[in-house]
Amino acid sequence: MEMLAPEDPRRIGAYRLLARLGAGGMGQVYLARSDRGRTVAVKLVRAELAAQESFRERFRLEVNAARRVGGEWTAPVLDADTEAAVPWVATGYVAGPSLSDVVAKGYGPLPERSVRILGTGLAHALRSIHGAGLIHRDLKPSNILVTIDGPRVIDFGIARALEAADMGITRTGAVVGSPGFMAPEQVRGLRVTAASDVFCVGSILMFAATGRLPFGGTENSHAVMFRIAEEEPDLGGLPAGLVELVRDCLHKDPARRPSPDELLARTAGPVPETDGEPWLPGALVAQLGRHAVQLLEVEHSTGPQPRVSLPQPQPQPYGYHGAPAPAPAPATAVAPTPPAPAVLTTAPQPPARRGRRIGIYLALAFVLLVAVPVVAGLVYAKFMADDGDDGTKGSGRDTTPVATGRNSPAPEGDGDVTPGDITRDDGNNVPEAYIGTWRATSTSAQGERVHTMTIEGGTSGEKVMRLVETAPEYECVWSATLKSAGSPLELGPSTVESGEPKWCGPGAWSRLEMPDGSTIVRELVGSDKTPLRYTKQ
């Protein structure tokens, strides 16, 4: 979460804003609270979108349909004003980080049991969404929030409203959506159906179980879309018990994919409420508990707040196309961040379940508060909001075209994260071959960037890597601890040792492979950029 900026409004509708959660293709997302004390996430539409009647009409229809979506597997739409100068929508604030953050930045790939329960939750969510006459169209890990009770799906119906926006995107051949999580018919520009969402479920289950995408990374979106449309998925590393299910979801022919009801039957098993076991690994449950504590620490001023008028819609210039330019505050088009994590589920729940959940969170909060040194190494606190890319800060990727709001490129360093194979090794010592100083270079419009990585010996949890990245406009220094030894070598999330916050941000955990004795390929888990190749100095 980020503090409200001076230009941010202090109220939207009946909701008092508390903090910024992030931004995405549609606009800025805020943590807010109603006068009755209900915590919500309020999404304020970008002003340039609000100026387009095609967007407004679709947004109006989709919000009305989304209000009909019920069930405990989605974030409910609670309130909206589609006729305001700058439209907004308020949804239930759901407990947990995004699946993208969990896999790429926090815990790593989930065990098979957790992935099966994830599939069950997604099937339930799709039944509710499709039952309201909606198709999600942009189902991906950053639109799935992970809670102690199961997954929750957000942002259903929004992709179609964005498609209707007359920003020149569809007319210039760009795609609104996320190439790594699109169905073949969507890639080809054909009719999107409920079966398209099922295809996305297959990609999501693969990502959740392995950290990889079935059709490769997204460093080249056109290549990924070609593989989705024409090639068979690569299911390497997927547990045997999930292979057939995922392959069926990823069938090129929509008619041959399972329905949500069939998905439920094939992923059926005890749910966390009935078998007494959490659906997530213990370390991840601890992270969720810490996340709950963080919400309790959110403070806001009770004194008078300056009132800031909402920006008036501004039309796009004639002939505008490509990524949208930054909008007037507060709906500035900035790099998107992962979906809004929250801490108290606001959807209606059965009384017994609600009591159990509150008890779990209170117990977790107590354990974490008295045992922070024990769990500190397990918690990755940088769970952010909404769908996508925040430059050097490291996040799950959203390929919806958006402007970064600055001309200078972000560093190539630890702020970027890339999906890739994830393996585990219980060894404790850094192999001798990895120890030493390694160098790589990359280029930008401003000139050459030099990446110098020094690896030292150590055991799990100890600091073993220092990375210095220098460029004409900045210098950043990161460090990382050993996560898992062996080959490939795995390093924990990187932290900033020095450098300007404008350029340097913490990164995800990484994997170092050595194809030969003089080269290391460092892959940042969850990034859409090609891994850098380092040579020994």
pLDDT tens-digit profile of 386-429? 333 333 333 333 333 333 333 334 444 444 333 333 333 444 58
How far is Cα 72 from Cα 439, in angstroms, rounded to an integer? 50
9's tokens:
């409004």
Weakest-pLDDT range from 45-54, 228-237, 283-292: 283-292
Both tokens of 259, joined, read 């329905």
Residue 453's pLDDT is 94
| pLDDT at 35 (0 to 100) | 86
pLDDT of the residue at 503: 64
Q: pLDDT-derived band of residue 32, with 50, 70 and 90 as boundaries?
A: very high
**pLDDT of res. 304:** 39
pLDDT of residue 155: 81
Check residue 14 and give its pLDDT. Answer: 92
pLDDT at 251: 97
> Which of 42-51, 247-256, 505-514 is predicted with the least confidence, judged by mean pLDDT?
505-514
Q: Which of 243-247, 310-314, 363-367, 498-502 shows the lowest mean pLDDT across its residues?
A: 310-314
Question: Residues 306-341: pLDDT tens digits?
Answer: 443 444 433 333 222 333 333 333 333 333 333 433
Please, which contacts does 235-244 make with residues 24 or more away whose CB atoms are closer than 8 Å? 235/206, 236/210, 236/212, 236/421, 237/209, 237/210, 237/212, 237/421, 237/422, 238/206, 238/209, 238/210, 239/112, 239/115, 239/209, 241/112, 241/116, 242/112, 242/115, 242/116, 242/205, 242/209
Q: How many residues does the chain have?
A: 537
Tell me: is residue 536 an annotated ligand-binding position: no
Query: Pick the catalytic residue: 8, 79, 101, 138?
Result: 138
Residue 519 CB burial class (10 angstroms; 0-12, 13-18, ≥19): middle
Element holding 210 (H helix, E strand): helix 194-210
With a cut of 50, say whether residue 73 has pLDDT above it.
yes
Residue with the bigger pLDDT between 309 and 489: it is 489
- Residue 177 confidence (pLDDT): 60
| pLDDT value of residue 444 | 67
Which tokens belong to 371? Answer: 């045992």
**Pair of tokens at residue 120:** 């069950």
CA distance 369 to 298: 16
Q: Report pLDDT for 398.
A: 37
Q: 202-252 pLDDT, tens per residue? A: 999 999 999 999 998 766 788 999 999 999 999 999 999 999 999 999 999
Alpha-carbon gap, residue 367 to 306, rounded angstroms? 39
CB atoms within 10 A of CB 87: 25
**pLDDT of 299 higher than 90:** no
Task: Look at 501 and 259; give whichever has higher pLDDT.
Answer: 259
138 among known catalytic residues: yes
Q: Which of 2-16, 114-128, 156-170 has the lowest mean pLDDT?
A: 156-170
* Torsion angle of the four alpha carbons 480, 483, 486, 490, in this order, in degrees rounded to the nearest 10: -60
Specify burial of residue 147 (Cβ count, 10 A radius: 0-12, 13-18, 19+): buried
User: CA nearest 182: which of 106, 126, 254?
Assistant: 254
Report the alpha-carbon distance of residue 388 to residue 9 in Å, rounded: 23
What is the reported pLDDT for 276? 64
pLDDT-based confidence at residue 449 (cuts at 50, 70, 90): confident
**More confident call, 506 vs 408:** 506
- At residue 48, the pLDDT reads 87
pLDDT given at position 528: 55
**Residue 311 and residue 298: Cα distance in Å, rounded?**
27
Residue 310 one-letter amino acid: L
Q: CA–CA distance from 10 to each of 28, 40, 307 (Å)?
A: 13, 14, 6
Pairing of strands 15-23, 11-12: antiparallel
pLDDT on residue 340: 39
pTM of the prediction?
A: 0.58
Could you count the other beta carbons within 10 Å of the beta carbon of residue 471? 22
| Residue tagged 């054909």 (tokens) | 190
Instruction: Please state, for a pLDDT cut of 70, what percent of the chain lies above it.
Output: 67
The whole-number pLDDT of residue 219 equals: 66
Mean residue pLDDT of the chain comes to 74
pLDDT in tens, 523-532: 877 655 678 8
